[in-house]
């Protein structure tokens, strides 16, 4: 930093507004130039090189000024980032982002609103509430409520927290104490549900075996009859069903649990069992004009997780927990004299959140809806689902590949197994092929295990990708796998790992 420079000039205010505009403008210009020319999803830099580059930065040294700092960031971070917009990125549930949301992100970072109490956020609180109401309406909750969260993990945690408090309160009516109830609580969910359900159970102080896995069908979806039996077993053991978690779009297969039949089972119970629908992935169906029916029954849930940063093409983070009845959020509230005293007529989102200071992520979705419309967003999600359907069709005709499982959404699970290759060889190829593609940076695919066997997985969340783009990735998998198999380098590769 030049000696004449006062560090206080770096605070964003009236005096620095012009420099702010130039600085952020130059960052955006650089990024635009990079995005125009990115040739593969990742540079392929080795972890050792990246670690050395990170370690080499002197964080205790004198300030270098914005220009140097940002040039360093470009070189270190931007250059080596993983680009989700690249058509050869097809690994995890990451989406490319839409322009209005990125523009809104720049606004909310600079204004730096915290959506906790009304007096810190004013209209932002009202806008977030409108969007919560909008999402609840799409779900089919007439008087729903909710709050934006950092992601599906937090949404699931909060949903299960509210479910736990509801059952503890019910037990208290018959004189049973929290400490008596907690060890008896069970959460029932399918084998393909997200691991955050297990993490939440642990965080909530439930027993180690509190999460009961319910049998699934050939597509990985909860079998309603098995759920029925599992509930009966919990009761026969003298335990209590705290919640049933259904998944609308499993992380692996993109399959939607049969929500109506599951809701029938939950509602059939005395006092009704808390049904939570984890729609972190499948929430895009809420705006789909062709597939909304897959969510039929979601309106009978008591709470729903939606990840706008997955199927609404929003920048991380943007997620929400939506509940059917506003009163279900009450256990989260804690009143502090300096913040939100009990006798407070103002709408304070902090009363509904596990967080206190909280980003105004809702602005991104707001801007997106106003820019492209709900139907426009739905069209984007439909495109990736249509793309996956086309790829599934092509794979069914391809003699080198085996399609492992169908999907309701946009995942593709497959194996490279040409005629004559043993299952064992096909299975062994999966990890090194994924690894070699990652190391090259040319294509990103991932792997998972279905019915005990490893397989490749593509998560197609790029509405701008074409079938030809996906074939580029598939052909890379094919050629790397064929080479490994033919040259029999697999054994040495495995030994080296
Ligand atoms: C991604 C995902 C989550 C976790 O959401 P984060 O936003 O990553 O915290 C939860 N459930 C399902 C089904 C998911 O796909």
Whether 128 is covered by a domain: the verdict is yes
Ligand 1: residue of 196, 199, 315 to mutate (most ligand atoms within 8 A of CB) is 196
pLDDT tens, position by position, for the chain (497 residues)?
555 679 999 999 999 999 999 999 999 999 999 999 999 999 999 999 999 999 999 999 999 999 999 999 999 999 999 999 999 999 999 999 999 999 999 999 999 999 999 999 999 999 999 999 999 999 999 999 999 999 999 999 999 999 999 999 999 999 999 999 999 999 999 999 999 999 999 999 999 999 999 999 999 999 999 999 999 999 999 999 999 999 999 999 999 999 999 999 999 866 689 999 999 999 999 999 999 999 999 999 999 999 999 999 999 999 999 999 999 999 988 888 777 777 677 899 999 999 999 999 999 999 999 999 999 999 999 999 999 999 999 999 999 999 999 999 999 999 999 999 999 999 999 999 999 999 999 999 999 999 999 999 999 999 999 999 999 999 999 999 999 999 876 565 554 44
Q: Is residue 104 part of a domain?
A: no
Neighbouring C-beta atoms of residue 431, cutoff 10 Å:
15
Please, what's the largest Cα pairwise distance for the chain? 77
CATH code of the domain in which 481 resides: 3.90.1150.170
Ligand 1 close to Cβ of residue 151 (< 6 A): yes
CA 114/CA 360 separation, integer angstroms: 6
Could you tell me if 306 and 200 lie in one domain?
A: yes
User: Is 93 inside any structural domain?
Assistant: no
Q: Is 487 contained in some domain? A: yes
- The structure tokens listed for 461 are 């969340």
Q: Are 32 and 137 contained in the same domain?
A: no
Instruction: Report whether 171 contacts 185 (CB < 8 A).
Output: no
Mutation pick for ligand 1 pocket among 84, 200, 251, 314 (CB with most ligand atoms within 8 Å): 251
Chosen domain end from 306, 325, 359: 359
Could you tell me if residue 92 is inside a domain? no
The domain boundary residue, chosen from 335, 359, 383: 359
Ligand 1 atom nearest to 193, measured from its CA: 13
pLDDT of residue 496: 45
Helix axes 467-487, 362-396, angle to 10 degrees: 60
Ligand 1 centroid to Cα of residue 298, in Å, is 17
> Are residue 284 and residue 169 in the same domain, yes or no?
yes
> Ligand 1: does its nearest atom lie under 6 Å from the Cβ of 93?
yes
Mark whether 54 and 124 lie in a shared domain: no
Q: Does residue 140 come out as left (phi exceeding 0), alpha (psi in the -120 to 50 range) or beta? A: left
d(CA 99, CA 117): 29
319 lines ligand 1 (CB under 6 A): yes
Same-domain pairing of 327 and 383 = no
Q: Are 319 and 163 in contact (CB under 8 A)?
A: no
149 pocket-lining for ligand 1 (C-beta < 6 Å): no
CA nearest ligand 1 atom 3, residue: 152
Atom of ligand 1 nearest to the CA of 249: 13
> Is residue 397 assigned to a domain?
yes
| CB-ligand 1 contact for 278 (6 Å cutoff) | yes
What does the pLDDT read at residue 57? Answer: 97
Residue 81 structure tokens: 């980032």
Going by C-beta distance under 8 Å and a sequence separation of 6 or more, which residues neighbour residue 127? 362, 363, 366
Residue 4 domain flag: no
Question: Which DSSP helix (H) or strand (E) runs through 17?
Answer: helix 17-37
With respect to residue 87, please indicate whether it lies within any of the assigned structural domains: no
The last residue of a domain, from among 333, 359, 385? 359
428 shares a domain with 312: no
196 lines ligand 1 (CB under 6 A): yes
Any atom of ligand 1 within 6 Å of the Cβ of 280 = yes
Residue 153 Cβ < 6 Å to ligand 1: yes
Counting the structural domains of the chain, the total is 3
Span from the CA of 189 to the centroid of ligand 1 (angstroms): 15
Check whether residue 393 and residue 336 sit in a common domain: no
Q: What separation in Å is there between the alpha carbon of 422 and the centre of ligand 1?
A: 34
Q: Using a 6 Å cutoff on CB, does residue 247 contact ligand 1?
A: yes
Q: Tell me, what's the pLDDT at 336?
A: 80
Q: Is the CB of 432 under 6 A from ligand 1?
A: no
Q: Are strands 303-307 and 275-279 parallel, antiparallel or unpaired?
A: parallel
Let me know whether 33 and 129 are in one domain.
no
DSSP 78: I
| Cα gap 170→93, rounded to integer Å | 38
Asked whether 462 lines ligand 1 (CB < 6 A), one says: no
- Check which CATH number belongs to the domain holding 263 and give it: 3.40.640.10
Is the separation of the CB atoms in 281 and 304 below 8 Å? Answer: no
Half-sphere exposure for 239 (CA within 13 Å, toward CB): 22
Does residue 158 line the site of ligand 1, with CB under 6 A?
A: no
Going from the Cα of 279 to the center of ligand 1, the distance in angstroms, rounded, reads: 8
My answer on whether 172 and 280 are in the same domain is yes
Same domain, 283 and 168: yes
pTM, two decimal places: 0.96
The domain of 23 spans 10-39+43-81
Q: Are strands 303-307 and 319-323 parallel, antiparallel or unpaired?
A: antiparallel
Q: Are 205 and 267 in a shared domain?
A: yes
Q: Is the peptide bond between 317 and the residue preceding it cis, with omega within 30 degrees of 0?
A: yes
Report the atom number in ligand 1 closest to the C-alpha of 251. 15
**Which atom of ligand 1 is the closest one to the Cα of 248?**
13
- Are residue 287 and residue 188 in the same domain, yes or no? yes
């Amino acid at each position: 930093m030049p000696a004449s420079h006062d560090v206080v000039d770096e605070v964003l205010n009236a005096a620095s507004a012009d420099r702010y505009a130039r600085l952020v403008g130059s960052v955006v210009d650089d990024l635009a130039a990079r995005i125009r020319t990115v040739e593969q999803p990742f540079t392929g830099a080795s972890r050792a090189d990246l670690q050395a580059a990170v370690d080499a930065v002197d964080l205790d040294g004198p300030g270098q000024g914005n220009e140097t700092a940002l040039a360093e960031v470009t070189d270190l971070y931007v250059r080596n980032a993983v680009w989700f917009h690249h058509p050869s990125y097809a690994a995890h549930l990451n989406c490319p982002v839409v322009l209005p949301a990125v523009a809104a992100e720049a606004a909310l970072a600079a204004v730096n609103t915290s959506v906790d109490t009304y007096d810190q956020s004013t209209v932002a609180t009202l806008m977030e509430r409108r969007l919560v109401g909008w999402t609840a309406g799409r779900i089919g909750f007439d008087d729903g409520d909710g709050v934006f969260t950092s992601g599906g993990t937090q949404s699931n945690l909060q949903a299960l927290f509210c479910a736990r408090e509801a059952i503890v309160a019910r037990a208290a009516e018959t004189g049973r104490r929290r400490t008596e109830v907690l060890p008896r609580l069970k959460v029932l969910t399918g084998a393909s549900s997200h691991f955050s359900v297990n993490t939440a159970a642990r965080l909530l102080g439930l027993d180690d075996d509190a999460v009961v896995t319910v049998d699934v069908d050939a597509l990985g979806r909860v079998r309603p009859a098995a759920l029925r039996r599992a509930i009966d077993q919990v009761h026969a053991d003298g335990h209590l069903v705290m919640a049933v978690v259904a998944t609308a779009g499993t992380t692996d297969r993109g399959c939607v649990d049969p929500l109506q039949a599951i809701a029938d089972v939950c509602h059939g119970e005395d006092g009704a069992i808390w049904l939570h629908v984890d729609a972190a992935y499948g929430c895009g169906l809420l705006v789909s004009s062709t597939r909304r029916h897959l969510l039929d029954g979601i309106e009978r849930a008591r709470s729903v997780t939606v990840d706008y940063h997955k199927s609404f093409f929003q920048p991380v983070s943007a997620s929400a927990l939506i509940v059917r009845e506003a009163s279900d959020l009450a256990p989260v509230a804690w009143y502090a004299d300096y913040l939100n005293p009990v006798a407070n007529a103002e709408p304070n989102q902090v009363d509904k959140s596990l967080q206190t200071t909280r980003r105004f992520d809702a602005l991104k979705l707001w801007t997106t809806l106003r820019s492209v419309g709900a139907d426009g967003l739905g069209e984007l999600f439909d495109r990736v689902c249509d793309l996956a359907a086309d790829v599934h069709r092509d794979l069914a005709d391809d003699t080198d590949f085996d399609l492992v499982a169908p999907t309701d959404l946009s995942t593709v699970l497959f194996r490279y197994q040409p005629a004559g290759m043993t299952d064992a060889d096909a299975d062994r190829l999966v990890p090194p092929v994924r690894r070699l593609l990652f190391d090259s940076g040319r294509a990103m695919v991932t792997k998972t295990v279905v019915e005990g066997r490893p397989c490749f997985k593509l998560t197609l969340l790029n509405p701008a990708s074409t079938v030809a783009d996906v074939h580029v990735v598939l052909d890379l998998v094919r050629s790397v796998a064929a080479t490994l198999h033919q040259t029999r380098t697999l054994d040495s590769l495995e030994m080296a790992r």
